[in-house]
Copies of this chain bind each other. A is one copy, B any other.
């Protein structure tokens, strides 16, 4: 069940250049089941910004009634900029949890998973990694960022499994893209899970043509619940061009090959 709730900011801090970690408290947390789901956040009660912002659930702490999201401030005058100014104690209106997350039962204990995240696509992989390791799955992370100042959550991921960080300019970790890391280290796995910019998703999909994979998509949204048809994508193999999936409610996670990236 999707719910709308005014949640309380219990912690809010900058963790990398333009990247913030926001911890929210409220009973809505109980409804969060699947890693990879997202919430739709109304930053202020006024009409500027008007629309909600889709942000992934990064980690869930049901005993504390809290969940964490990580977000990037995308510029001056943006909704995320306004959000970043809210102090601890403020209320934020959250609609969620939305969409379908990454399936956990695809892998069993002892099998291996590759989690590949790019930039602000990294956050949803964190809860996923926690859940997979709980199941006994061996998890390897490849996290790609623009440059050193943009890197976040490296230690958190390292606690859960092997973690390779790549930066485009080589200022931290391996120089290059996440797919370069896969090539250099000849990484293999029983399944992969990925979230990040569309060109990265495409490159990952091509690289692992024969591996089970799950891909989290991004699209500009209106309603976030499947009613407005803002966020549709085409379906692979549909010659009519008329079939579609809604990223918000059918996704954001799709099985590899299901939709056209």
Contact = CB atoms under 8 A, between A and B. Distances in A.
A241 interface: no
A243 interface: no
A82 interface: yes
A77 B44 CA distance: 12
| Stoichiometry (number of copies) | 2
Contacts of A44: 46
A235 B184 CA distance: 84
A240 interface: no
A46 B46 CA distance: 10
Contacts of A46: 44, 46, 48-49, 77, 82
A47 interface: yes
Nearest to A49: B46
Interface in A64-100: 77, 82, 87
Nearest to A46: B48
Contacts of A49: 46
Interface size class of chain A, counting residues whose CB lies under 8 Å from the partner chain: under 10
A73 to B, nearest CB: 14
Interface string A44-62: 1011110000000000000
A44 B86 CA distance: 13
Contacts of A82: 46
A142 B246 CA distance: 66
Interface in A196-229: none
A46 to B, nearest CB: 4
Nearest to A85: B45
Nearest to A82: B46
A93 to B, nearest CB: 14
Nearest to A48: B48
Contact of A48 (B47, B77, B87): B47
A48 B77 CA distance: 12
Contacts of A77: 46
Nearest to A79: B46
9 contacts: A44-B46, A46-B46, A46-B48, A46-B49, A46-B77, A46-B82, A47-B48, A48-B48, A87-B87
For the complex of A and B, list the 5 residue pairs with the smallest distance between their C-beta atoms, beginning with the closest.
A48-B48, A46-B48, A47-B48, A46-B82, A46-B46
